[in-house]
Chains A and B, each alone.
Chain A
């Protein structure tokens, strides 16, 4: 491995801040050409051992398999992955939730990450539940939002007031339109929150126009990397807490006790539907189609006229996710050692494909 680059967090903050404002005009020797927008993608990485060293070792493997050149920096938790088409700056300060920045073209970062996630079962997007994206609007003035709801696969072709809904609004108080949609009983289930843009100004610091989407992707323009990374970190931290709470509080596990009995820890996760399932066959066929984005394999077994049990397999991570399905909701049995991201992926995608108002009321999102 080549020696470390003379690059630390201070330099990167300065470089990113300038790149976000469209400077410099000349390509940077290590980061490449700037497009004027800083893109940050959050990625969840399941390491055997959650440490900066473990993260760096995994990053090195990934770089090799992707044909990218790994360059370490002065900072133990930051490294560069360089290819012909661009450079990714990978921040593994949180060894499980990585921040991947690029000042280059979004296609490069997206293609590399999509390829990496597809090939590696220990990597996943961060799937922000609606509440998390929604709370992002409090960071500044909402300038734009996007709704992209696709209910075709899970709902019948007839009798639906909204099977697909695509709306985006760019303008002052843009969020008011989403509120109007949400207030309509017939359409609120389709009023998903796919992405949001806010303008954030911090006196004496700078300003940022920040876009965030439900797959943990961000794009920022402005003049302050500090503001950008603060927004990203806040969301990722809350997401991390949410995922860890899922795993720590809800993962079910039996433990053999010294007295000869066994004790049970964890809880069954309940995901109640406000919109009841009218066509269960279609819902099941869509949910367990093995296709993106759910990537769930399963053979439903009827329990009674309303309930079905499914010993589902999450094909993305290669883990079982047993659940019971009824027209009124899901009961999910997260096993000990399973990844909470599997549940957030299910929730976020159901919010975009079945009911935007869906939630897991048991599980709180902390500030």
Chain B
């Protein structure tokens, strides 16, 4: 296995950029072996597949099976920091689910790669009920740890956990199936279910997602405000409308998302497809004042021209987002229209 040192948290799902997560992310070993992302999740930032899948398996969103929900668990929190008192180690729990009767707490760490952080795994394994109860109101039951992994990374993660002597439940997420392998004492969690579709896109991006994922959300965001007929919109408002969770994970996370969004918007505004559609005005170092000025909108045109204007904008967006335009299926003959036009079958 080749590994290199890289700056950043390429493989680590993180929705927070606060002090807690900074402690766990500085330099990480980046595994250069590729991890096969389930094809059915190709539209999601791969790092976020385990999180979205876990939430799907809890809530049954979008037609997904909900084996965890069927056991009585419900989603409690996402990205909640908890300190394991036994080790003093802080972990930011990606997904926390709870059950009232019998009382139980499930904490989930999402892993989209093949690696784990040993200290983090030990921190998870050391979590006790009172550690969780000190920070959030949960039922007084045992803590069960699940590592949610992509199927292709499961064996490496299993192996590494065994090497360091940490025993946790393993959730494997594949293209067609999700399987939970329980550890002793958590047998009731075991399931093996068929997945009918990609995971519901409840968390489409975070602050570490690649630019292309931001473009997917922000270009339609611009179109939304063009449709509203607005002259301008702050980047903050654009984030509110396009990145639903951006304001829910603390100020540092929000600031990073806004910064990322601004960079992506500036880049899109300079493409030949969107030049003249909008521009981004950045004011000094205060990101809160970044403003998108809408320069043109089809909404200002008359009915026929407006539709054509939106269609033209759609073609521009296709080029920016997909690199090509989608072929338009040829128009179809309507016998009703033809008959009407040719006065056949019509009364005088």
Contacts and interface: CB of A to CB of B under 8 A. Distances in A.
B250 A164 contact: no
Contact of B322 (A285, A299, A314): A299
Contacts of A267: 59, 61
Contacts of A118: 303
Given A256-B248, A290-B314, A264 B78 contact: yes
B139 interface: no
| Complex A-B, nearest 4 residue pairs according to Cβ-Cβ distance, in ascending order | A261-B77, A261-B80, A318-B228, A318-B227
B224 A318 contact: yes
A291 B80 contact: no
B223 interface: yes
B279 to A, nearest CB: 20
Given A252-B244, A268-B200, A297-B223, A263 B76 contact: yes
Contacts of B244: 252-254, 335-336
A263 B322 contact: no
A133 B29 CA distance: 61
B245 A254 contact: yes
Contact of A320 (B75, B242, B303): B242
Contacts of A285: 326, 328-329
A301 B228 CA distance: 24
Q: Which of B96, B250, B307, B332 has the most CB of A within 10 A?
A: B332
Interface string A200-228: 00000000000000000000000000000
Interface string B280-311: 00000000000000000001000100010011
Nearest to A289: B311
Contacts, number: 175
Contact of A282 (B61, B321, B329): B329
B241 interface: yes
A302 interface: yes
B200 to A, nearest CB: 5
A299 B80 CA distance: 34
Given A261-B79, A262-B79, A291-B307, A320 B229 contact: no
Nearest to A259: B136
A318 B310 contact: no
A331 interface: yes
B201 A309 contact: yes
Residue in B78, B137, B299, B303 with the greatest tally of chain A CB atoms within 10 Å: B78
B95 to A, nearest CB: 10
A319 B329 contact: no
A268 to B, nearest CB: 4
A254 B250 CA distance: 12
B13 interface: no
Given A264-B75, A299-B219, 17 more contacts: A164-B336, A254-B244, A257-B136, A260-B250, A262-B77, A263-B76, A264-B202, A267-B61, A270-B62, A282-B329, A297-B314, A298-B220, A311-B217, A311-B220, A318-B228, A324-B198, A329-B63
A121 B227 contact: yes
Interface in B136-179: 136-137, 175
A267 B62 CA distance: 8
Contacts of B241: 320, 335
Interface string B183-223: 00000000000000110111000000000000011011101
B1 interface: no
Contacts of A256: 247-250
A301 B198 CA distance: 13
Contacts of B345: none
Interface of A: 118, 121, 152, 157, 164, 166, 252-257, 259-264, 267-268, 270, 272, 279, 281-282, 284-285, 288-291, 297-304, 306-309, 311-315, 317-320, 322, 324, 326, 329, 331, 333, 335-336
Contacts of A164: 334-336
B39 interface: yes
Among the interface residues B40, B62, B225, B318, which one has the most CB atoms of the partner chain A within 10 A?
A: B62
B216 A301 contact: yes
B55 interface: yes
A319 B217 CA distance: 13
Contacts of A290: 307, 310-311, 314
Interface in B115-135: 135
B64 to A, nearest CB: 9
A307 B44 CA distance: 12
Scoring A284, A311, A331 by chain B CB atoms within 10 A of each residue's CB, the highest score goes to A311
Residue of A118, A254, A255, A329 most packed against chain B (CB within 10 A): A254
6 contacts: A285-B328, A285-B329, A299-B322, A313-B220, A331-B197, A336-B244
A99 to B, nearest CB: 27
Interface string B319-339: 001100011110011111000
Given A267-B59, A288-B314, A300-B326, A259 B223 contact: no
Contacts of A268: 61-62, 200, 202
Interface string B26-69: 00000000000001111110000000000100010111000000
Contacts of A333: 200-202
Nearest to A118: B303
